[in-house]
Structure 1
Amino acid sequence: MEDGNSRIGPPLKDFYIPDYILVPESEKFNVPEEPSCPVIVFINSRSGGQLGGDLIETYRELLNRVQVFDLGEDAPDKVLHKLYGNLEKLKSEGDPLAAHIEATLRLIVAGGDGTAGWLLGVVCDLKLAKPPPIATVPLGTGNNLPYSFGWGKKNPGTGRQAVLSFLQQLKEAKEMAIDSWHIVMRMRVSNEGTCDPIAPLELPHSLHAFHRVSSTDSLNVEGYHTFRGGFWNYFSMGMDAQVSYAFHSERKSHPERFKNQLTNQTTYAKIGFSQGWFLASLFHPSSRNIAQLANVKIMKRPGLWENLHIPHSIRSIVCLNLPSFSGGLNPWGTPNQSKARDRDLTRPYVDDGLLEVVGFRDAWHGLVLLAPNGHGTRLAQASRIRFEFHKGAADYTFMRIDGEPWKQPLPVDDDAVVVEISHLGQVNMLATKNCISKSSNGPSTPFAASQDGEDDSEDSQDEWEGGRRKFGAAETFKIPENIDIAHLS
C-alpha cells in the first residue's frame, strides 16, 4: 500500500499520521520526524449542501487519506476504538510515535451542531486518560458550537487555501474545558406502536431508550420508559423548539430546497412567522405558556431543590451552557453588579458546572439580543433542573437539544412526564484567539473533569444516578442506520 508520506511536506508534515497507526494491518515503518499536531478529521459529507463532500476531497488531498473519515460511512466510536486499541498495542511494543500521537492528537469535526455533539459524546464516553481536544468546522445552519470557540458561524471555503488556513489556526489553538450535561426523560409507555422510538415520537439521536434495565435499578419503573442522553450547548422548550421542529420537518420532506446556509436561514425566518413566533399572543394562547405546562425545580446547592418561578408571559425556556444560541445570539448576556449582588447571577462560564436558564415571551423579545447588552429574561443559574409535566394545558409541547427538535406528548391522565438535567463532566474543545466563551479558570483550562460523572453531593445517589454513569456515547451514542445524518446539521 502506498503511504501518504510521499505527498506530505512542510507544513503538512506537522499534521501527518502514517498508515500503520490507523490501519493495524499496514506495514510498519519509521517516520523521520514526529508530527507536532497530528489530526484525525471527521466530516459529515451531507452537511452544508455539497460543502461536506468537497471538504472531504480537499483534506484527503492535503493529508494522508486514512486520516479523513466520512461520517456517512465511518462512525466515530468505531474509528476511535480501533485507533486507541492500536495505539495501546504499539506502545506495548515500544513504538515511540504511538505514544507521541496519543499525547498530541487533535480532532476536527465538520458538520452542524448535531454532528459535533455526536463526536463530543463519543470522546466523553471513551474515558481516555488524555482525551483529544476537538475543533469544529461550521457546516450547519446555527453553528453555535464552532462560533462559541472562535471558528466562525459561516460555512467555510472548501479549497486548499481555506483548509490550510484552518489547519494553521488549529495548530495555534488553545484547549478549553467545557461542561457536559446529562438529560434523563421518563414517560409512560405508549399503547400504540413500539418504544424505539415511542410512536409517533421521533426523539433526537442523543436520547436513548433503556431497552434492558435491571430489576434492581431504580430507573426501572413498570409501565414507563426512561431515555437518557446529553448535550453541550442547550436544551430548550416551547415556541422556539416548535419553529425548529417545523423547519426540520420541512427539510426532511423537501431536502432539495435546503442546499445552502443562506437559503436555510431565510426559510427558518419564514417558518418563524408562519408558526406565529412573532405573534405568540394570537397563535400561541396563554394557556400554553411554560408556567402552565410544567412545574420547574432547580438545584443551586447540593441536595436542595427549590421551585423556579416563571412569569406567565414566558412561552419559551432555554437552558444554556454556551454563550451562543440560534446562530450566535447570547441570551444571558453579562449581568451587571447589582444583578450579581441581588440575585446571585454571574457571567456565563462554560466550565463552572452551571446552566443559564433564560425565558422568552416571543420572537420580538428575542430580537433584543441583537442590541448591545440585550438579553432574555434571566430566570436562574443552576447545576440541576427538573421539569415535571402533568395533565393540564396541552396535549404536547416541543423540545430541542443542541438544534435537534421533537414533538413531545404530554400526559393525558394522572401520569407525569419528567425531564431532568444534571452536570456530568467535561470535555476539551480547541479555542482560537476569537473565542467568545469564557472559562472560570482563565482562557486556557487544563482538563480537570470528573471522567465518570460522579460528584460528592449528598444528592448524588438519587433515582437518576444509575443513568448518569455514562453519557451514552461509546456503546450507544450511535446514529441508527435508518437515520439520514444530513438532519444532524
Structure 2
Amino acid sequence: MDSPKSAGDSSTARIVVRSSMMDSIRACGLSGLAGVRIDKEELRRRLLMPQYLRLAMQDSIRKKDVDGGDQHFLSRGSDDVPYPESPMVVFINPRSGGRHGLVLKERLQQLISEEQVFDLQDVKPHEFVRYGLACLEKWANNGDFCAKEIRENIRVVVAGGDGTVGWVLGCLGELHQKGREPVPPVAIIPLGTGNDLSRSFGWGGSFPFSWKSAIKRTLQRATSGPICRLDSWLVVLQMPGGEVVDPPHSLKATEECCLDQSSYDVEFQIQMGKSCPRLQTLEIVGDVPDKVNCYEGVFYNYFSIGMDAQVAYGFHHLRNEKPYLAQGPISNKIIYSSYSCTQGWFLTPCISDPGLRGLKNILRIHIKRVNCSEWEQVPVPKSVRAIVALNLHSYGSGRNPWGNLKPEYLEKKGFVEAHADDGLLEIFGLKQGWHTSFVMVELISAKHIAQASSIRLEIRGGEWKDAFMQMDGEPWKQPMSKDYSTFVEIKRVPFQSLMVSGE
C-alpha cells in the first residue's frame, strides 16, 4: 500500500473548508480573475474540438460502436487541422439541486458546442468512456495527430451534485483498470444540495445567482487549474439472500464477493474446533447462510450507517414524490432539517425500546490500521446512532465533523492529520439529533472512533428489521436478518482520481 503521508503526493490535495460565500466567489474565478474580461470567442477557440472529431465521437456514442464515426475521419479534408489548447467536455445533470440544469446546458452549448455538452439523461458517462474516448484513441493510434493531442489533454467538467460527480469519476475509473491512460481530470460546477466534493476542491458550495457572467470564468479556471488527487473507496456488501431496497446507481449487484477471506478462514477453523489467535477477533457472531447476495459500489466522500442515512432515505423519497419542493439548495436544506425532526432522531432515545436505540445493539466494527494487515475490533460507543466513515473534511454541506485536531490530541489518540489522498478514512459517531446539531454548527466535534485503511462491519438484526446506509448522499434500505450476519467491507481502490482544483 502507498505511504499514507507522502509529503510530495498529499500536498497536492490539502483540503481547506471555506465558508459558502467565499467558496462561491472562488468557484467562479472571481477572486483570481476579477476585473479580467474573458473573450467569449477566444475561450471557445481554446475549448472547441474540430467538427469531424465532435461528430465522430457523437456518432460512436449514439451507435454504441467505436467504429460508428469512421466516416467523419475519412472526409475530414486537410491533415493539418488545428487542435484546441484545452479540449473539454461537460456532463450536466438537469435534475441536480434546483433543477436549473436545462438553462445552464443551453448556455454551455453556446460557449462550447452541442456535441461537447452531454445531458446525463441522454448520454451516460460510461458510454462516453467506452465509445467516445475509445474513438479518439483508435484514431490517435491510426496517426491522427489532432485526435492524439485531444485525447492526451482533454478535461471533464461535471455540472451536478456529489452523486453526479461520483458517477462520472467511477466511469473514468474504467480507464485505470484497462490501462487506457491518461485519465482526464475533473472540474465541478456545483448544482447539488451539499456539494461537499465541490467545496473540498475549491469550486464552491453553490453556483452563484450571477451564473451567466460566472460560467466563462468557471470554464477558464477548469482549463488551467492544478491537478489534485482523491482517494476512492470500494464498498463490498454481502447479505443473506434478499435484495437491497432502492439501491443507488453507485451500488451494483455482483455474482462474487471480494471480502477479505480471513473471515471465512476463522469460520472454518471454528467449525473444525481449531484456534486462530491472529484472526480470532473476526469470529462471526451470526450463522453463515448457504446462499448470499453481493453488491459493490464506490464512494469518494463518505459511507454511513444509521439514523443520518434513514433521514436521507426519507428525504429522497419525499423529494421524488413532490418534485415541486426541490426549488434549490436553500429550500432543500430547510426541508431536510424539518424532515429529520419527524424521524425520531431527537426523541426516540427517550421513548423507544432500549433495544432499538444505538447501533451497538446490531453492529460490530473491525478495522485495519495503516501499514497493518491484521483486523482489530474497535468498540461501538453506546450512545451512537449513526456512524460515518469520512474521506474529506467536508460533510453535510461544508461541515467538518472530525474537527481540526491539535497535534497533542492526534498523538494521544494515535491519529494523523487527515487528507483526501492519505489512504485513510476517519470514523466518527453521531448521537441523538441534539448532539448532531451541535456538531454540524461546529460547536463540538463528533465522537471520534478510529482512523482506518480498511473497515469491516458486521450487522445482525435482532429486533431490527432494516438498517439504513448511504454513500455520498445516496441512501438505501438494507434488509436485516435475525439469524444471519450482513457484512460491509470498505477498502481503498488502488488508483486515485484526478481532480482540477478551483482554488
TM-score, normalization: structure 2?
0.78
Determine whether 1:225 maps to 2:326: no
Residues 438-461 of structure 1: CA deviation (Å, up to 9, x unaligned): xxxxxxxxxxxxxxxxxxxxxxxx
**Structure 2 residue aligned with 1:23:** 55
**Structure 2 residue aligned with 1:353:** 423
Give yes or no for contact 2:82–2:146 (8 Å, CA) kept in 1: no
Q: Which of 196, 200, 210 lines up with 1:148 in the alignment? A: 200
Distance across 2 between alignment mates of 1:345 and 1:213:
31
Q: Which amino acid is the alignment partner of residue 76 of structure 2? A: K
**Structure 1 residue aligned with 2:246:** 202
Q: Which of 406, 411, 424 lines up with 2:476 in the alignment? A: 406
* Alpha-carbon distance, 1:373 to partner: 7.4
Give yes or no for contact 1:335–1:346 (8 Å, CA) kept in 2: no
Distance across 2 between alignment mates of 1:142 and 1:168:
24
**Structure 2 residue aligned with 1:11:** 43
Distance across 2 between alignment mates of 1:18 and 1:32:
8
> Any unmatched runs of 5+ in structure 2?
1-38, 57-68, 265-287
Q: Which amino acid is the alignment partner of residue 485 of structure 2? A: A
Determine whether 1:119 maps to 2:168: yes
When Rg is computed on C-alpha atoms for both structures, the one with the higher figure is: 2
How has the CA–CA distance of structure 1 residues 284 and 12 changed in structure 2, closer, same or farther, with 3 Å as cutoff? farther
How has the CA–CA distance of structure 1 residues 373 and 36 changed in structure 2, closer, same or farther, with 3 Å as cutoff? farther
**Structure 2 residue aligned with 1:93:** 142
Distance across 2 between alignment mates of 1:278 and 1:34:
59
Q: Which amino acid is the alignment partner of residue 430 of structure 1? A: V
SS in 1 for 2:303: strand
Q: Which moved more, 1:248-257 or 1:86-95?
A: 86-95
SS in 1 for 2:41: coil
Residues 314-346 of structure 1: CA deviation (Å, up to 9, x unaligned): 111100011111111111122212222121112
Give yes or no for contact 2:358–2:385 (8 Å, CA) kept in 1: yes
How has the CA–CA distance of structure 1 residues 157 and 53 changed in structure 2, closer, same or farther, with 3 Å as cutoff? farther
Q: Which moved more, 1:123-132 or 1:219-228?
A: 219-228
**Structure 1 residue aligned with 2:400:** 330
How has the CA–CA distance of structure 1 residues 212 and 96 changed in structure 2, closer, same or farther, with 3 Å as cutoff? same
How has the CA–CA distance of structure 1 residues 29 and 15 changed in structure 2, closer, same or farther, with 3 Å as cutoff? farther
* Alpha-carbon distance, 1:79 to partner: 1.5
Determine whether 1:262 maps to 2:312: no
Give the CA RMSD over aligned residues: 2.5
Distance across 1 between alignment mates of 2:44 and 2:314:
43
Q: Which of 475, 482, 485 lines up with 1:416 in the alignment? A: 485
**Structure 1 residue aligned with 2:9:** none
How has the CA–CA distance of structure 1 residues 283 and 223 changed in structure 2, closer, same or farther, with 3 Å as cutoff? same
How has the CA–CA distance of structure 1 residues 331 and 117 changed in structure 2, closer, same or farther, with 3 Å as cutoff? same
Residues 425-483 of structure 1: CA deviation (Å, up to 9, x unaligned): 311011122xxxxxxxxxxxxxxxxxxxxxxxxxxxxxxxxxxxxxxxxxxxxxxxxxx
Determine whether 1:274 maps to 2:326: no
**Structure 1 residue aligned with 2:307:** 239
Q: Which amino acid is the alignment partner of residue 228 of structure 2? A: M
Determine whether 1:296 maps to 2:365: yes
Higher-helix-fraction structure? 2
Give yes or no for contact 1:278–1:362 (8 Å, CA) kept in 2: yes
Distance across 1 between alignment mates of 2:412 and 2:253:
42
Distance across 2 between alignment mates of 1:257 and 1:371:
25
How has the CA–CA distance of structure 1 residues 116 and 158 changed in structure 2, closer, same or farther, with 3 Å as cutoff? farther
Distance across 1 between alignment mates of 2:190 and 2:351:
33
TM-score, normalization: structure 1?
0.80
How has the CA–CA distance of structure 1 residues 101 and 8 changed in structure 2, closer, same or farther, with 3 Å as cutoff? farther
How many aligned residue pairs are there?
A: 416
SS in 1 for 2:42: coil
Give yes or no for contact 1:335–1:345 (8 Å, CA) kept in 2: no
Q: Which amino acid is the alignment partner of residue 44 of structure 1? A: N
**Structure 1 residue aligned with 2:274:** none
Determine whether 1:64 maps to 2:96: no
Residues 115-142 of structure 1: CA deviation (Å, up to 9, x unaligned): 1111010001222321000011111111
Determine whether 1:45 maps to 2:90: no
**Structure 2 residue aligned with 1:249:** 317
Alignment identity in percent? 35
